[in-house]
Amino acid sequence: MLDAARGGCMIPNMRSILTFLTISPRFLAFGFVVALFSSFGQTFFIALSGGHIRAAFDLSHGDYGMIYSAGPLSSAILLIWAGHKIDHIDLRYYTSAVCLGLAAACVSMAYVGSAMWLIGVIFALRFTGQGLMSHISTVSMARYFGEHRGKAISIASLGFPTGEALLPITAVTLIAWLGWREMWMGVGIVLAIVLVPLMLWLLKGHSERHAGLQETLRAEDSVEEAARSWTRGQMLRDLRFYVLMPNLMASPMIGTGIMFHQVHLVDMKGWTLAWFAGAFVAYAIAQTLSGIVTGLLVDRFGAVRILRVDMLPMLIGLLVLSFFSEPWVAIAYMIFAGTSSGAIGITHSAVWAELYGVSHLGGIKALATSMMVLASALGPPLMGLAIDAGQSMETISMVSVGFVAISIFMVLFIFPRIKGN
C-alpha cells in the first residue's frame, strides 16, 4: 500500500493540476496535441478499417495479423535509432519531420494496392504515429518539467483518450459515408495542412526552454542529477530494466491484440461494432481520470511505487471478458482496460527519468518504446493464429490473465530486491 504518512490526503488536491496548467500552457498543449494526433498510427484506429482491408485482399485473421505485425516489428528496430535522435535534433525540426511522415503514411493507405504495399504502409503509420509521435509527447514532458513531470505527462497524455473517445465513432461514420480509402486520404490532407504549422506555433520559444534545461544540468547543484544520468548502454547492464519488461510489454501486447481483432470479438460476443466503438468513450473517460490521478501520485510517491498496481485493473477486465458475454461486458472491459492504460502511460513515461535521469532520456525511452512496439506487433499475429486454430476469445483472454499476473508478480516481489548497478 502507498505510504499515506508522507503528508496529508492519499489523493492529492486536484487544484494543483489547474495551477500547473498556467506555468507553460503552450508547451503542455504541444504535448497534448502530439499525443492526440498519434491516434492515426494506433491500432484502435487502424483496426476500424480492418474488415475492409481483409475483404479487399482476401486475408484470414491470421494472415492479416502477420502482415500487420511486420510493420511494427520493423518499426521497433528503427525506433531505437530514430528515437535517440530527439536528444540531438531541435525539437521543432524533429516534430515537423515526424508529422509530415505521418501525413504521407495516411495518404499512402488510401492508395494501397497489394498486401506487400500494405506492410510498408502499416510500418509507416506505426513508426511515425504510435512510435515517434507518442515518443515526442512523453519525452518532451518528462525532460523539461523535472519534479512536475508526473503532472506534465498526465496532462499531455490526455491527448490519447481524447483521440480514443472521438475518433472511432468519427471514423466509422466517415467510412460508411465516404469509404475507408477516402477516409484515410482526408486524414492525410488535414495532417499535412494543419499539423505542422500548429506544432511550430506551439513550440515558439522552445530554444530558451532548452537552454534553461542545459544550464540546470550544468549547474553545481545538479551533481545528484548528473550522477544518475545513465547512458543507454549503462541501463542495458541494469537488471531492473529486464525485470520491468513484462510490465512494459503486457499491456501493448494484449491490448493491441484485442483491439486489432475487435471485429472478431464483437461477432463472437454477439455485439455490434457500433456498440463496441461507442464503448471507447468509457475507455477514454477511465483512461483520462486514471492518468490525471496517476500523474499526481507519481509526483507525490514516485513512479516506481505506482508500477506495483498499474496492471491490476487490466487483470480484472480480462477476467470479466473471459467469463461473461453480455453487452455490458464491453463497457466494463473498456473501463478496466482504460484505467490501466491511463496509469501505465504515466508510470512508464516517468519511471525512466526517475531511475536513469534525463540527459540521455531520448535514447533510453526510445529503447523502451521500441519494446512496447515490438509487444504490440506480437499481439495481433499470436491472437490471429489462435483464432484461426479455433481458440475462443475467452481462452485467449485467460492466457492473457496469466501473462499479466506474471508481470505483477515481478514488479511486486522481484524488482524491490534488486539494486541499481
* 12 pLDDT above the threshold of 70: no
DSSP, residue by residue, 348-397: HHHHHHHHH-STTHHHHHHHHHHHHHHHHHHHHHHHHHHHHTT--HHHHH
Per-residue confidence band for 17, with pLDDT thresholds at 50, 70 and 90: low
Among 56-70, 263-277, 281-295, 315-329, the range with the most confident prediction by mean pLDDT is 315-329
Task: Report yes or no: 271 and 332 within 8 Å, Cβ to Cβ.
Answer: no
Q: Which of 36, 44, 37 is nearest to 169 (CA)?
A: 44
pTM: 0.75
Task: Report yes or no: 340 and 401 within 8 Å, Cβ to Cβ.
Answer: no
Task: Give per-residue pLDDT as tens, 344-382.
Answer: 988 988 899 888 888 888 899 889 888 888 888 888 889
| pLDDT attached to residue 16 | 65
Cell numbers at 180, concatenated? 475507408
- CB atoms closer than 10 angstroms to residue 275: 13
Per-residue confidence band for 27, with pLDDT thresholds at 50, 70 and 90: very high
**24-417 carries CATH number 1.20.1250.20:** yes
Mean pLDDT of 392-404: 95
Cell numbers at 186, concatenated? 482526408
- B/e letters for 28-48, b = 16+ CB within 10 Å, e = fewer, are bbbbbbbbbbbbbbbbbbbbb
Domain residue spans of the chain: 24-417
Among 109-113, 145-149, 270-274, the range with the most confident prediction by mean pLDDT is 109-113
Q: Which of 251, 403, 365 is nearest to 314 (CA)?
A: 251
| pLDDT attached to residue 8 | 42
The dihedral through the CA atoms of 191, 196, 202, 208 has a sign that is positive
**Lowest model confidence (mean pLDDT) among 213-222, 273-282, 317-326, 358-367:** 213-222
**Could you give the angle at which helices 25-37 and 149-156 cross, rounded to 10 degrees?**
50
Distance CA 357, CA 104 (A): 35
| pLDDT attached to residue 123 | 92
* 11 pLDDT above the threshold of 50: no
| pLDDT attached to residue 15 | 63
Q: Is 113 exposed, middle or buried (0-12, 13-18, 19+ CB in 10 A)?
A: exposed
